Amino acid sequence: MNPEPLASPPGVPLAPLTWDDTAAQLAASENYLLSTAAADGRPHVVPVLGLWLDDVLYFNTARSARKARTLAANPRIAATVAGTRADLVVEGTAEVVRQAETLERVAAAFPGKYPWWHPFVSGGEFYDPADTAMSDPRLVFAIAPEVVYAFAKEKGFSATRWRP
């Protein structure tokens, strides 16, 4: 990702944040707020659990959930993360993940971050082990960032933008 300092208060030199710190914050975040827009333009914001792996944000949702329906109609998405040093925004397009290898890698990573959840993969979707009837399949989405913003909260309050 290539940094581009954006702005800072008058008289304060631009101090771009580092990609390493930003990626570490994205990986460590417990919650992500997803913002989508329905076909009629109505906004939809929802918290989700997610994983930042190899510069991609992964999350999952029930196939029948509003998020899944909204993303099917309009896959443009923003994910935000609040932090103590910086607030982050990831913008991109959400794509359903169907590759078995990627799904298995993401499923294997979830318990490391969320020890109480151990999804398994079947038929290109996630399932919760508690769903013994396998009646609630979960789609896995990937957001490969088109742009990432970091808004510093410390001295300088600089903003930095990264593009692939």
Mean of per-residue pLDDT scores for the chain: 89
As for how many domains the chain has, the answer is 1
pLDDT band, residue 80 (cuts 50/70/90): very high
**Domain for residue 135, yes or no?**
no
One-letter amino acid at 142 equals A
Question: Is the residue at 113 inside a domain?
Answer: no
**Chain segment 1-30, per-residue pLDDT in tens:** 666 656 555 655 656 788 899 999 999 999
- Per the structure, the complete domain to which residue 153 belongs is given by 2-98+142-163
Asked whether the whole model's pTM tops 0.85, one would answer: yes
Instruction: Report the CATH number at residue 8.
Output: 2.30.110.10
Question: Does residue 104 belong to any structural domain of this protein?
Answer: no
Q: Pick the more confident residue, 116 or 13.
A: 116
- Please report the pLDDT score of residue 66 as a whole number: 92
pLDDT, position 153: 84
The residue with tokens 């399949």 is 137
Please check whether residue 53 lies inside any domain of the structure: yes
Q: Is residue 93 one of the residues assigned to a domain? A: yes
- Catalogue the E-assigned strands of the chain: 2-7, 32-37, 43-48, 50-53, 56-62, 76-81, 86-96, 120-122, 125-127, 138-152, 159-163
